A and B are shown apart, each in its own frame.
Chain A
Amino acid sequence: MRPAFRKLSILLSVALLLILSGCSEQYLVLDPKGPIAAAQKDLILITTLICAVIAIPVFAITAVIVWRYRERPNSKASYKPNWEHSTKLETIWWGIPIIAIAILAVITVNYTYKLEPAVAIQSEKEPIEIQVTSLDWKWLFTYPDQGVATVNYFKAPVDTPIRFKLTSDMAMNSFWIPNLGGQLYTMSGMAMTLHLLADEEGQYYGSGANFTGEHFAQMTFTADITSQEEFDAWVSEVKTTERALTETDVEKLKEQGTAEVAQFSSFPDNVFYDIMMQYVEEGEQGAHAGHMPAEANDEASEHHNH
């Protein structure tokens, strides 16, 4: 029996390795293209390892016990129907999970602070801000510094921290680019901050991860990471060749329906904050406004008063 178990455990660990090594590019979460996603992948591997260290022996013990103590004629296994307690043994198996969880808790708390999405990423370069609005059922990206806007697609320079400001026109969605790092909810009345960075050029898949109604599945977008030069060239090209996003266009985007990829040379002033604050009444200090990071709060009222 023993060699069979050994074979099985080798087989299992190989399978595990195959899946976890991200041998295929299709495993977006395990194929990080930036420091946040890389740290999250490390964390996933560490926790898998800690879990496996406990789980695999448990499988082995289960198999051995079930096999050895099965009822059969002439069984040589001992039978002690009243053996029901052993302080030593029970201390061991209260102890093992406590130690494992303690280790994991320390790692988790550490990473939780390190990977807090609102905290800026250390970099020599100035971060670029992209405002993200989830609408039914499309994504609007606006660049406050560059002045351009896109739908279901955005471009950003490589190796530059991106500060996403997230809000929603109505229903709560979640902004997720698996290759670059974990997601954050988009909510009406709030500007959430998510910092990500891409350290490799490429086109990455992004999606809305929280259900928002009928055509929610169509809310996918492309994150196009290019060199700084290419990005700058793209901005000036969009500015010269594309038309402007008008108030009428915004109203149209707010209507329920899906949308194609689009680019716009400019957008109405404060469109992001107007959408964000559309349901918050003047002077109201509801839970919404209170939840905003202080900086966004100032910005919001500042823009709102224009």
Chain B
Amino acid sequence: MLDTIKEFASEFFVTGDPMILGAQVSIALALVAIVFVLTFFKKWKWLWTEWLTTVDHKKIGIMYIICSILMLFRGGVDALLMRIQLAAPQVEFLHADHYNAIFTTHGVIMILFMAMPLMFGLFNIVVPLQIGARDVAFPFLNSLSFWLFFAGAMLFNVSFVIGGSPDAGWLAYPPLSELSGSPGLGQDFYIWGIQISGIGSLASGINFVVTILKMRAPGMKLMQMPMFSWSVLSSSITIMFAFPILTVTLFLLFLDRYLGAHFFTVDGGGNPMMYLNLIWMWGHPEVYIVILPAFGIFSEVVATFSKKKIFGYKSMVFALMSISFFSFFTWAHHFFTMGSGANVNAFFAVTTMIIAIPTGVKVFNWLFTMYRGKLSFPTPMLWAVAFIPCFVVGGMTGVMLSVAPADFQFHNSYFLIAHFHQVLIGGVVFGYFAGLYYWWPKMFGFKLHEGLGKWAFWFWNIGFYVCFMPQYALGLMGMTRRFNEYNFDMGWQPLNVVSTVGAFLMGIAFLFQVWQIAHSIRFLKMDKSGDNWGQGRTLEWSIPSPAPHYNFARTPQVVGQDDWWETKQRQERGEADPAHVAAAKTAPLEPIHMPKNSGIPIIMSGFWFLAGFGFVWDWKWMIVLGLGGVIVTMLARSFNYNDDYYVTVEEIERTEAAAAKGAN
């Protein structure tokens, strides 16, 4: 009996690496600590009713953001480990296998489990408030999306200590990712982790398209919508078209691995090139999915802190939508070197370059929003201003990479690595940080400490350039991505050392941010007034911070673009609101129809996790249990008619009065 258990455990847990053992122990200790704290402070019920079962878009957004920050930590540690390994030639700080696993998980986690949830977090918190809605169109589905993401992320992350990490690269090219190339379980964790969270992402995309199209406050025409909501619309439409491709592709790979099919194998008539095409048909739009909302955030932040209307609104909208359209016609630029011939390469080179046009226009429009403005530089604006030169350089190197014959020399080199980190950090991460700092007071009712924020900002920025500029040079020196070691005589070491120093500067920057959050909570200065920056332009700043759970006590009547800014302008000039707006503001309160919390999303996602885990280990009983549970919870949801309630007028009055008191 004992031997069977021992045998099972040695197969079940990843063994043999002291660093992983350390991680296993610390994970176990952390879990024990969490359970202890929750039990000791009797917080289980609070956690369940207030958070785990919530359908409130603001709370779901906060949960997304917490997860993404944890994932940023995990992905960041991966990055630092890689940089340590590469700082000196021919060392074995990490064994080759371990290194391969780490760059794979770094990529997957940063894109799918850090950038995506941070993006959905901001969507959730901001969009309904910005368009004057009480929640998203499908609050239950929204909660389910979050929990599916969470289940997928956990399934993916658990592979690190149980079963073994995937190690075939973040997009898992076959035949390496097939059973023949990766017989271990890591690749199965990869498939199911991404698959389950991918369903959630698709549902979120649909949810936000419907929310934006159907739930805008009366009077808000599409062409008066805040720019962030426009970017969410373009990004969500892209999700709707791109994510089904991912689901199908991973499903085919799963059939290959699980049932011995031959979609992407080298034998039996399979074709790995098909996988490359399919995965990039999703993968390329995916990077635009994460960058478009960042564009929206910059538009909001730049307009707010320039105290000026966004310049060229129509151009901006057109640029967003055309980027999202063209993003579907560039995928083959990821494999110009696959020998598709000059016709194919020329076509995809030109379509890729075309994307630079609307992107360039957006940069000019941001610049001319600042032109003739009154610029102030709190942390969100710092990130926005730092973004412009960084993204311009990243975009330019992107154009260089799009030149197909030149790409033959850049492909898979550190030049490429430097490029996509520049657009993903300089664009996406800087953008989301700007958004996080900007809307933080809206989420929690207090601002983050500015001084520490500036330290973090400078460490991030300097660290970024120190880390990635040398990598462009390393690429031109012939250094290939995913090398776990290199020879002395290549002369790559000095620049690699510089790059590692830069990575650690960014690590320090992250610590500053953690300190910043802790410090801001410790010396809490609540400001519930609502318009926390004093110069908000859009509807979310017209209600208290944090917003009451029903958002708007009375449905706002919108007159035009930048509605809240215009309202304040009218007040300053002593003008009266238009009659219907004034009438809506003083109308008697009515009970508000709201969705009820539900435990089904978290339970259903738990079953999805079980099913995924069962598929990974091929434990039939667990698969049946998991999928059966999914069906039962779906039925339970279908026959549950008691899913809504009304907020009473008394409660609204009470909440509004308390918020007004907090503001004074």
Give the B-binding residues of A (Cβ under 8 A): 19, 24, 26-30, 37, 39-41, 43-44, 47-48, 51-52, 54-55, 58-59, 61-62, 65-66, 69-71, 75, 77-86, 89-90, 93-94, 96-98, 101, 104-105, 107-109, 111-118, 170-172, 174, 176, 178, 181-185, 187-190, 192-193, 205, 207-217, 220, 279-281, 284, 286-288, 291
Contacts and interface: CB of A to CB of B under 8 A. Distances in A.
Given A51-B400, A116-B341, A170-B180, 6 more contacts: A70-B375, A81-B308, A98-B357, A171-B175, A172-B173, A209-B412
Interface in B49-67: none
B407 interface: yes
A213 B405 contact: no
B376 A71 contact: yes
Interface in B328-382: 335, 337-339, 341-342, 345-346, 349-350, 353-354, 356-357, 360-361, 363-365, 367-368, 370-377
CB-based closest 6 A-B pairs: A182-B408, A279-B267, A51-B396, A97-B360, A93-B364, A28-B478
B412 A210 contact: yes
A3 B310 CA distance: 31
A101 to B, nearest CB: 5
Interface of B: 96-97, 100, 167-169, 173, 175-176, 180-181, 265-274, 306-315, 335, 337-339, 341-342, 345-346, 349-350, 353-354, 356-357, 360-361, 363-365, 367-368, 370-377, 385, 388-389, 392-393, 396-397, 399-400, 402-413, 473, 475-478, 480-487, 490-491
Given A104-B399, A178-B478, A188-B266, A116 B342 contact: yes
Contacts of A40: 405-406, 408-409
Contacts of A19: 473, 476
B575 to A, nearest CB: 15
B373 A69 contact: yes
Given A93-B361, A205-B478, A111 B403 contact: yes
A183 B408 contact: yes
B404 A94 contact: no
B409 A79 contact: no
Contact of A207 (B346, B396, B400, B480): B480
A98 B399 CA distance: 13
A213 B313 CA distance: 49
A292 B499 CA distance: 41
A284 B400 CA distance: 40
- Most chain A CB inside 10 Å of its own CB: which residue of B307, B312, B405, B413: B405
B346 A112 contact: yes
B370 A29 contact: no
Given A62-B388, A71-B375, A184 B357 contact: no
Contacts of A58: 363-364, 367, 388-389, 392
A71 B491 CA distance: 48
A158 to B, nearest CB: 21
A174 B176 CA distance: 14
B353 A105 contact: yes
A112 B404 contact: yes
Contacts of B349: 105, 108-109, 112
Contacts, number: 285
A217 B484 CA distance: 6
Contacts of B267: 279-281
B376 A109 contact: no
Given A181-B409, A207-B480, A79 B372 contact: yes
- Most chain A CB inside 10 Å of its own CB: which residue of B272, B274, B310, B399: B399
A170 B269 CA distance: 14
Given A84-B309, A101-B354, A217-B484, A185 B374 contact: no
A85 B308 CA distance: 12
B371 A69 contact: yes
A59 B392 contact: yes
Contacts of A81: 307-309, 373
Contacts of A217: 96, 482-486
A263 B346 CA distance: 40
A171 B181 contact: yes
Given A29-B409, A182-B411, A89 B368 contact: yes
Contacts of B473: 19, 27
Contacts of A187: 272-273, 338
26 contacts: A27-B473, A27-B476, A28-B476, A28-B477, A29-B410, A40-B406, A48-B400, A58-B392, A61-B367, A62-B385, A66-B375, A69-B371, A81-B307, A84-B309, A89-B368, A97-B356, A118-B341, A171-B176, A172-B173, A174-B337, A188-B272, A208-B480, A209-B412, A211-B168, A214-B97, A216-B100
